[in-house]
Structure 1
Amino acid sequence: MTALLERWCDIPENEEDTSPWSTGSLINEASGPLICFPMRWSMAEEASAYAAAVAEPMGLVCFDTQQNRLRP
């Protein structure tokens, strides 16, 4: 989550409306071992691809609920 928030600010700090997140604070979307990243439609592809790229080297799995599949 830290890597994602380093690239795009969290909703409470999104004064310039540049964040892909549709709810905030992003940490509130964590539930046990899962984190849901609600995204604005206009930035969803870019943000989900980045999240998947960040997750992979950490051994984490990124599941896209819109496509109903794991992100490569």
Structure 2
Amino acid sequence: MAALLERWCDTIGHEEGTSPWSVGPLIGSASGPLTCSGMDWSMAEEASAYAADLADKMGLTCFDVQQDRLRP
């Protein structure tokens, strides 16, 4: 979560178009070893690709519910 928030601000107190998160705070989406991050459609492609790449680099698994598949 911290790495994602280094790239984009949280939903709380941000200007329109500066954060891809549709629900916040982002940490509120985490539950144990899982997190589900809602994204605004206008930034979802960029943010989901970044999150999947970041997860891969950290040895984590990323599942995209919109694509119904694991992200490489």
Normalised-by-shorter TM-score class: over 0.9
Identity of aligned residues (%): 70
Structure 2 unmatched runs, 5+? none
How do residues 1-72 of structure 1 correspond to structure 2 at under 5 angstroms?
1-14=1-14, 16-17=15-16, 18-72=18-72
Alpha-carbon distance in structure 1 between the residues aligned to 2:57 and 2:40: 25
Question: What is the identity, as a one-letter code, of the residue corresponding to 1:3?
Answer: A
The structure with the greater share of residues assigned to helix is 1
How many residue pairs get aligned? The number is: 71
Runs of 4+ in 1 over 2 A off after TM superposition: none
What's the RMSD between the two structures over aligned residues? 0.8
Question: What is the identity, as a one-letter code, of the residue corresponding to 1:67?
Answer: Q
Structure 1 unmatched runs, 5+? none
